[in-house]
Amino acid sequence: MSEQIEEQGTEQVAEQGALSDTEQAQLAELITDANEASIALVESREAIAVTEPVEEPPLDLKAPELYINRELSHLQFNIRVLEQALDETHPLMERLMFLLIFSSNLDEFFEIRVAELMAQLKYGRESVGPDAMHPQVVMNRIGEICSAQVERQYKILNETIFPQLEKENIHFKRRRDWTDEQKEWIRVFFEEKVQPVVSPIGLDPSHPFPRLVNKSLNFIVELDGKDAFGRESGLAIIPAPRSLPRLIRLPDELCDGGDNLIFLSSVIHEYADELFPGMTVEGCYQFRITRNADLTFDSEEVEDLARTLLGELHSRKYGAAVRLEVDQRTPEVLIRFLLREFNLDEAHTYRVDGPVNLTRMMALRDLVDCKDLCWKPFTPGMSGRYKQKNIFDVLRHKDQLLHHPFQSFSPVVDLLRQAAKDPKVLAIKQTLYRTGVNSDIVDALVDAARSGKEVTVVIELRARFDEESNLQLAGRLQEAGALVVYGVVDFKTHAKMMLVVRREDNQLVRYAHLGTGNYHSGTARLYTDYSYMTSDADVGEDVHKIFHQLTGMGKILRLKKLHNAPFTLHAKMLEMIDREAKHGKNGHIIIKINGLTEPQLIRALYQASQRGVKIELIVRGMCRLRPGIKGISENISVRSIIGRFLEHTRVFYFGNKGKPDVLCASADWMERNMLNRVETCFPLTGKLADRVKSDLDLYLADNCRSWTLHSDGSYTLNKPEEGEEAVSAQEALLRQFSS
């Protein structure tokens, strides 16, 4: 560049003619100064071009294309569950269970999510989420996806699972394969066990189409002939009583070996004519109706929540129809008849190649000897400190963190049991969301109340599909003398808290338990969750304040260590994401949750990604965030873990430039958790925080049970590269803790 300028200067001098020595020196100096100025200007412009590119219009982080539809994301999770039925590394019986869990999940999806969309369309209350998809468009996509996946599910069952069960000597006997001896036994079973409790309903003007219970097994029957009263409507309905098993084991002495089973539907098909004497059954076809099962009521009109819920529970069985499942052999004329009766259209019809009520097949595990076809049993780890000492002594010495199901849930139950019997314990406070009427936790609370301790239990009556159980639970605790509170009408109490107040050396000491999961010993062996037990005075005081807000009235109370929804948790998460964003490429966020749908949190993560923050998300189910979008989320990865246990922990890690914050919570990053529920979030420090970070690293290294989310909303199963060590986080934790 300087050489070009010098050449231009020389040419200009030549054109002007000869100069004196003094003038030439002055001119040379001027040219040199100009050269230096020009070089500086060019270098400055080049630097600006590198550090300050031409400013583009700011990206709109509210743009609909940046968000995945919630319902469609939910379906993707169910599809990942169904995929487990094809995973040959799982034991065969567990593969069947995954296939049946897919049915159970889909039932709830239709009962709640599809029902809500249909109600929006029916009453003109359409609302759209951040993805801006109209409910009708969502419904159309749901229909397409579910039809394809249900067809695939039955294909897996009929062409893969059933044949492999046959090889394991577990036989599902079709009617055409029944021997004469088996037919005689089945006939007796029908006459003694089925016929006395079945009530066939002929359809005529005095017997209109019956109200059929949600998800019940039913049959539509074509008849020919007249009955005793001269009626010949030609149609009848047979509701299968829920008291009857859907799977029936044939006696071993009537079979050639192995486990032999028949479906109740086969029995009713075979002997349907016995229910209509003197008439001819020309066709018998099973069907199942799914109804809206969400409980709704006006909170402003509620005077007694328990009484209101009790009244609503019955109506759940008879909500508006949302789905019809029928045997694929059912004549179209009968399907159209059923659709008219249930006020549905073709889009809500699912023709299936097999039993319409697959979920009830879960009983198979208890009907056959299948230990070799199931996961090997394990004993959750139990530290010697819990076996040898009073648990209060343990907690006075050091905080404790348990990772279920790899570590036993027993210390949590023991804390409550010891508190119930300990004369130094004055009061116990507990939240219960899903626990069951008969459980070790409830037994201990009953014992504590009967022994004269002040027992306060906050029961969330509206835990979906556990409402009836929780009403019974409330009654049992009240009879024992416990004070039972139902929380706050418009805010579900989802927090998992226990507080024990104990007198020690003339002082009151609080012991607290906080968890990411429910107080349920059964699910503690199936779900991954963290339990934190402490005698920390600040934590105990915070838990006490939250209980005070639930049972009493007053303004928001300031907490010292905990964060709680709906008051501070959401703002705290936004604040911590923003702090990492300010660290730029030195920032690091790891979030492990069950669902990510809250738009403000997603936008905050997008902004942090734009600043260069490394963001690793482990989201089991629904995820509205789209990773891998250039300029927005290329620094964000999302994975889902599907394995033997249901991933349920909620963990938040913020790197903070080498001074990390590690928190666990009862809350997912969803609107309902952050804004409409009572939730708790608790910090971990020291070795406990290091343990949780180590667990997170293990989940991030999983290349066997993890699925990667792509920007288009699809998922891909991760597999070890050639020569790479296979890592399964759940199996590694089982080896580490259990025996």
**CATH number of 174's domain:** 3.30.1840.10
∠ CA 714-716-717, rounded to 5°: 145
Same domain, 460 and 588: no
Phi, psi angle pair for 269, to nearest 5°? -60, -45
464 is annotated as contributing to ligand binding: yes
Q: What is the mean pLDDT of the chain?
A: 88
Mean pLDDT of 77-96: 97
Report if residue 438 sits inside a domain: yes
Query: Which helix or strand (DSSP H or E) is residue 302 part of?
Result: none
Inter-axis angle of helices 410-421 and 440-450, nearest 10: 10
Dist. CA 413–CA 190, nearest whole Å: 45
Per DSSP, what are the bridge partners of residue 722? none
Q: Greater confidence, 630 or 471?
A: 630
Assigned domain for 58 exists: no
CA end-to-end span of the chain, whole Å? 75
Residue whose tokens read 């593969």: 95
Q: In the prediction, which pLDDT does 302 show?
A: 44
The predicted model gives 358-375 an average pLDDT of 94
The verdict on 100 and 246 lying in the same domain is yes
Query: Which residue among the candidates 403, 494, 513, 570 is catalytic per the annotation?
Result: 494
Residues 33 and 93 in one domain: no
- The CA-atom distances, in angstroms, between 472 and each of 461, 487, 671 are 10, 16, 30
What integer is the mean pLDDT of 426-443? 89
User: Does residue 719 lie in a domain region?
Assistant: yes
Mean pLDDT of 405-412: 95
Backbone angles phi, psi at 63, to 5 degrees: -60, 130
pLDDT of residue 232: 65
For residues 391 and 366, membership in a common domain is answered with: no
Query: Does 17 score more than 70 pLDDT?
Result: no
State the CATH number of the domain containing residue 442.
3.30.870.10
User: Are 156 and 203 found together in one domain?
Assistant: yes
Residue 493 belongs to domain spanning: 384-551
With beta carbons less than 8 A apart as the criterion, state whether 718 and 704 touch: yes
Q: Is residue 493 part of a domain?
A: yes
Count of residues in the chain: 739
Phi, psi dihedrals of residue 327, rounded to the nearest 5°: -60, 135
Residue 693 burial by Cβ neighbours in a 10 Å radius (0-12, 13-18, 19+): middle
Burial of 156 (0-12, 13-18, 19+ CB in 10 A): buried
Per DSSP, 669 falls in state: B
- Residue 230 confidence (pLDDT): 62
- 494 included as an active-site residue: yes
Please determine, for residue 412, whether its predicted confidence score (pLDDT) is greater than 90. Answer: yes
Q: How many other β-carbons are positioned within 10 Å of the β-carbon of residue 223?
A: 24
Domain endpoint, select from 321, 343, 373: 373
Question: Any residues with CB less than 8 A from the CB of 48 and at least 6 apart, and which?
Answer: none
- The region of weakest confidence among 117-121, 213-217, 388-392 is 388-392
pLDDT at 350: 97
pLDDT band at 307 (very low <50, low <70, confident <90, very high): low
User: Which pLDDT band holds residue 386 (cuts at 50, 70, 90)?
Assistant: confident
346 and 411 belong to one structural domain: no
> How do strand 527-534 and strand 507-515 relate by DSSP bridges?
antiparallel
Tell me the DSSP string of 137-189.
Answer: HHHHHHHHHHHHHHHHHHHHIIIIIHHHHHHTTEEE--GGG--HHHHHHHHHH
* CA 99, chain centre distance (Å): 16
How many CA atoms, within 13 angstroms, populate the side-chain half-sphere of residue 536?
A: 19
Local confidence band at 572 (pLDDT 50, 70, 90 cut-offs): very high
Q: Residue 341 in contact with residue 332, Cβ under 8 Å?
A: no
Q: Which of 325, 347, 373 is the last residue of a domain?
A: 373
Is the pLDDT reported for residue 712 higher than 60?
Answer: yes
Give the C-alpha separation, 475 to 463, whole Å: 16
Per-residue model confidence (pLDDT) at position 552: 85
Instruction: Specify which residues 684 forms β-bridges with.
Output: 662
Tokens of 529: 């969750």
DSSP state of 539: H
Report the C-alpha gap between 61 and 67 in whole angstroms: 9
Whether residue 290 lies inside any domain: the answer is yes
Q: Given this model, what pLDDT does residue 466 score?
A: 67
Report how many domains make up the chain. Answer: 4
Same domain membership, residue 216 and residue 84: yes
Indicate whether 577 and 485 sit together in one domain: no
pLDDT at 465: 62
Q: Is the model more confident about 472 or about 239?
A: 239
For the segment 480-492, the average pLDDT, to the nearest whole number, is: 87
- C-alpha to C-alpha distance for 553 and 543, rounded to whole angstroms: 16
301 pLDDT more than 50 = no
527 is in an annotated binding site: yes
The predicted-structure confidence for 660-672, as pLDDT tens digits, reads as follows 999 999 999 999 9
The 10 Å CB-count burial string (b at 16+, else e) for 655-681 is beeeeebbbbbbbbbbbbbbeebbbbb
Q: What is residue 439's predicted lDDT score, i.e. its pLDDT?
A: 87
Taking the model in full, what pTM does it have? 0.88
Q: How big is the CA angle at 731 (ends 646 and 102), to the nearest 5 degrees?
A: 30
Query: Do residues 407 and 474 share a domain?
Result: yes
104 alpha-carbon distance from chain centroid: 13
**3-class secondary structure for 475-537?**
HHHHHHCCEEECCECCEEECCCEEEEEEEECCEEEEEEEEECCCCCCCHHHCEEEEEEEECCH
In a domain, 661, yes or no: yes
Residues facing residue 493 across a β-bridge: 678
pLDDT at residue number 318: 82
Looking at residue 1, what is its pLDDT?
42
SS (H, E, C) 217-265: EEEEEEEECCCCCCCCCCEEEEECCCCCCCEEECCHHHCCCCEEEEEHH
Q: Is the pLDDT of residue 228 over 60?
A: no
Please report which confidence band the pLDDT of residue 26 belongs to, taking 50, 70 and 90 as the band edges: very low
Residues 395 and 368 in one domain: no
Q: What is the mean pLDDT of residues 177-204?
A: 94
User: CB under 8 Å to 72, separation ≥6 — which residues?
Assistant: 138, 141, 142, 145, 713
Check whether 624 is labelled as a binding-site residue.
no
d(CA 189, CA 16): 122
Q: Output phi, psi for 427, to 5 deg.
A: -150, 150
Q: What percent of the chain has pLDDT over 90?
A: 76
Q: For residue 522, what pLDDT is reported?
A: 87
The first and second tokens of residue 468, run together, are: 């009836």
Distance (Å, whole) CA 674 – CA 214: 32
pLDDT band at 432 (very low <50, low <70, confident <90, very high): very high
Residue 35 assigned ligand-binding role = no
Residue with tokens 């620094």: 635
Name the pLDDT band for 25 (thresholds 50, 70, 90).
very low
* Of the residues 373, 398, 431, the one at which a domain ends: 373
Distance of CA 456 to the CA centre of its chain: 29
* Residue 326 · residue 287 · CB < 8 Å: yes
> How far is it, in rounded angstroms, from Cα 615 to Cα 93?
37
pLDDT grade, residue 45 (50/70/90)?
Answer: very low
Q: Are residues 407 and 510 in the same domain?
A: yes
CB 599 within 8 A of CB 570: no
φ, ψ for residue 173, nearest 5 deg: -85, 120
Q: Residue 469 has what pLDDT?
A: 80
557 belongs to a structural domain: no
Alpha-carbon dihedral angle through residues 603, 604, 610, 613, given to the nearest 10 degrees? -140
The answer for residues whose C-beta is within 8 angstroms of residue 184's C-beta and 6 or more apart is none
Q: What does the pLDDT look like over 684-698, one tens digit per residue?
A: 999 999 999 999 999
User: Tokens for 219?
Assistant: 């049959």
Please report the pLDDT score of residue 231 as a whole number.
63
Q: pLDDT at residue 659 above 60?
A: yes
Closest-CA residue to 551 (of 502, 495, 607, 597): 495
Does residue 40 form part of some domain? yes
Each residue of 124-159: pLDDT tens digit? 888 899 999 999 999 999 999 999 999 999 999 999
| Per-residue confidence (pLDDT) for residue 389, from 0 to 100 | 76
User: Considering only CA atoms, which of 535, 497, 227 is closest in space to residue 394?
Assistant: 535
pLDDT one-digit tens code per residue, 235-269: 999 999 989 999 999 999 999 999 999 999 999 99
**Residue 638 β-bridge partners:** 617
**Percent above pLDDT 70 for the chain:** 87
Q: Are residues 542 and 414 in the same domain?
A: yes
User: How much is the pLDDT for 617?
Assistant: 98
Mean pLDDT score, 589-616: 98
Q: What is the pLDDT of residue 250?
A: 97
